[in-house]
A and B are shown apart, each in its own frame.
Chain A
């Protein structure tokens, strides 16, 4: 006789224990759908939530469903805000979340924000209300000043991590560092690289000295090179270091001091900073190169020979960010030395010039794709490309996961054949079956979108500019890309048809951004009215979009949400849902 095994009769705490081994949000979500009791158990033991669009859900709802969360991650503005496409005041305010969490998550430990507006008031509220607060990551955020940072420093007694990754911080005032009390010894990670103002070096030094667990220290440009050695000797356990300005008078004593300090840092795996690099000082880091896995030289305005010298000493390099000064020759050296390379980002030194100022072409990328078997993530700015090169890259690296190519001049064709680059990108999506992120550039017709719709089944994020010929292009993507979550489009001739024909698809995605396309206001209104679970927001700074319905909308941002229209829209954002006429300002 078979004994019927009833999984729901397992005691709750056993199930909870089992669930605790499941960290991935996706899996947790699936668990919660098994049955009502699993839903209940799961929601009480979820410790971490990620909200990819802060307007998709209200803080109250999140707190109500997951009452015991210790770590929250939120994202605010659309990605194109990074490139000045989203006007100031658009939104993404974190304050309502902080206010709700001050009451609902008093034991919150971690807060990670990206592209959100964070005010000093918000930071002060965190400092005041969250007694166990440990980790604050503000990535590409703005709206706060060093006063807010001072509150965090002063009141968060258990602070482990303060990371201001690429944020915009108001008001040059360095005293906030002194607000860390002498009793604060818990810091593990401090990233102030984005701060424009000087910080008090003595306060910094005292902080570093009393925090034995400090692993990550990213200094800002204002920290002079002469003082770096001193700091390093106080923290030889550092794993990640961002230098300040990397220039000084050429003096042998400064150099030997620096080189000596670096050689004492046996654990260093990641280097960044390097503003204003004087090449003569680069050899000071040679002693740590053999262990480096990450190197961010994207501010280092040094030429290819110096870059080659440096990179050739880093055989364990996994991630390199560099300016196009590295040139094809430098990338060739990279390909020869760094067989463990996973990620390469090449930024343009002169993005607004008409003529190439460096000898960096598609060849460099091809060489890296040939020489680095683990290459999976690429961001590459260049001025010319060919279908052949793209096909080669695709065939070389079928395991590519992120491929972002920016050919600087819009609509540049294949420089060899003058044809569109459809076939090249088509090869990328066809061969790289696990591709999750793709950015297109160059001359592209609807055909490339047909390839993408057909092959890019795992694609989650697509960025498009100056591409395509008709709605068919957009239709291919929306109807074919099964995993699509984020789509951002600028300056493409995509209009109403594809959007309306794929309206249901939009509910399966996080968001869609379209600017300078051909979508009519009527279509937006229709979409907004028929799809209650989408917020269809039109951004127009010159006036109400329905006053000129014959013109296409300038900027359109559509995202799924369970909370309806947001209440913090500024005057230039219109939610064109049902009662758009009655919108309260």
Chain B
């Protein structure tokens, strides 16, 4: 805070000028009201806090904070804009956004204005951000236009892995109250966190020589070949980075990155193995894909030379996360 206000004091005169220009940008984002009252509101905001407007009203008790806050804002905008000029590339997205929106800012009623701004926003957003969430609904009521097939989004819906697909856990065994012998008693050996039957499609995968493990989403693949390609993609860079750091020098990553191949047939430097829901270690590729997916609990990419020397005891001590 202190540091900022120091520099802020010096920069302030120019910043106020910039503010006049910048003000327009902020106006744009307000849902529609007459421009003159807009300016009035912003003027109030610049000076000591007034009380009238609830939306922008600043309580007396928070005066100081608001002033500091306000300085911060000016400061940020100031620096923000000065670097603007020197580096067009980085800000083209934002320039595009604001200059486009400017003419829209008018005395329109709120809904259409919102919509237009939202549209322009979305258009602008999409340019810079093509992989964003699929086409948004705007505020227009006629949209029962939802996205047709919702693509699976990481992190949504927000539930922990071990809660996913519980319905599958007891399968079709949602028994009517008193039906006999639906579920034979069994000693269950499944981890709630990584249940087989793909309750949790995310499976941990570790690679020899790479301290950081990853997670793969098995639902994203439908064959061993695709999984193998994914393993290569995941670890190629990391493995090269490890070699880099152990070599100690700055090596050109592109040249040093070797494809990781032959993980399924033993022909490569590395071999893909997995642990199933009974704790056994198996070579990947022996069973039909669907069976593999339903029983795998974790994956490992081992040096092919080590695979033959595999024993449970050895592997238990080797792969502590540390």
Q: State the A residues within 8 Å of B (CB).
A: 80, 82-85, 87-89, 117, 119-121, 142-145, 147, 166, 168, 170-173, 193-198, 220-222, 224-226, 245, 247-250, 275-280, 298-299, 301-303, 305-306, 323, 325, 347-352, 354, 357, 381, 406, 408-413, 417-420, 439, 443, 445-447, 450, 454, 463, 465-466, 469-472, 475, 479, 482, 490-491, 493, 495-497, 500-505, 507, 515-516, 518, 520-523, 526, 530-532, 549-552, 570-571, 585
Contact = CB atoms under 8 A, between A and B. Distances in A.
A551 B124 CA distance: 12
B132 interface: yes
Contact of B193 (A144, A196, A306, A520): A196
A15 to B, nearest CB: 30
A550 B212 contact: no
Interface stretch (B113-121, B224-232, B262-270, B299-307): B113-121
Given A247-B185, A466-B136, A522-B87, 14 more contacts: A83-B158, A88-B213, A245-B188, A276-B188, A348-B159, A411-B146, A472-B31, A493-B121, A493-B132, A497-B26, A497-B94, A500-B73, A516-B133, A530-B4
Contacts of A298: 163
A198 B191 CA distance: 10
A270 to B, nearest CB: 19
A398 B183 CA distance: 45
A89 to B, nearest CB: 4
Given A166-B162, A518-B128, A550-B90, A530 B185 contact: no
A412 B146 contact: yes
B249 interface: no
15 contacts: A88-B212, A119-B321, A196-B192, A196-B194, A226-B185, A347-B163, A349-B167, A466-B136, A472-B30, A479-B69, A497-B25, A518-B125, A549-B89, A549-B90, A571-B212
Nearest to B26: A497
Interface stretch (B34-42, B147-155, B281-289): B147-155
A248 B245 CA distance: 55
Contact of A276 (B72, B147, B170): B170
B209 interface: no
Interface in B302-322: 316, 320-322
A504 B69 contact: yes
A254 B22 CA distance: 76
Contact of B139 (A144, A168, A445): A445
B31 A446 contact: yes
B83 A522 contact: yes
Given A88-B214, A413-B137, A249 B163 contact: no
B241 interface: yes
Interface in B47-73: 54-55, 62, 65, 68-69, 72-73
Nearest to A79: B158
A469 B118 contact: yes
A530 B212 contact: no
B255 interface: no
Contacts of B103: none
B290 interface: no
B141 interface: yes
Contacts of B154: 83-85
Contacts of A447: 31
A276 B158 contact: no
A279 B189 contact: no
B156 A445 contact: no
Contacts of B162: 166, 194
B247 interface: no
State which size class the interface on B falls in.
35 or more
B322 A526 contact: no
A172 B189 contact: yes
B75 interface: yes
B320 A145 contact: yes
Given A445-B139, A520-B90, A198 B187 contact: yes
Interface in B120-177: 121-122, 125, 128-129, 132-133, 136-139, 141-144, 146-147, 150, 152-167, 169-170, 173-177
B136 A550 contact: no
- 4 closest A-B pairs (Cβ-Cβ)? A196-B191, A89-B212, A500-B76, A247-B183
Contacts of A495: 94, 97
A202 to B, nearest CB: 14
A117 B322 CA distance: 9
Contact of B129 (A195, A352, A418, A551): A551
A526 B91 CA distance: 13
A318 B136 CA distance: 39
Contacts of B167: 301, 349-350, 357
Nearest to B101: A470
Contacts of A500: 73, 76-77, 80
B221 interface: no
Given A170-B321, A197-B191, A351 B185 contact: no
A276 B169 contact: yes
B1 interface: yes
B157 A381 contact: yes
Given A171-B316, A250-B181, A585-B245, A469 B121 contact: yes
A420 B157 contact: no
Nearest to B177: A279
Given A301-B166, A352-B164, A250 B279 contact: no
A349 B166 contact: yes
A279 B87 CA distance: 67
Contacts of A222: 187-189
Nearest to A244: B188
B29 A504 contact: no
A298 to B, nearest CB: 7
B180 A250 contact: yes
Given A88-B213, A470-B29, A354 B174 contact: no
A350 B202 CA distance: 17
B161 A84 contact: yes
A122 to B, nearest CB: 9
A215 to B, nearest CB: 23
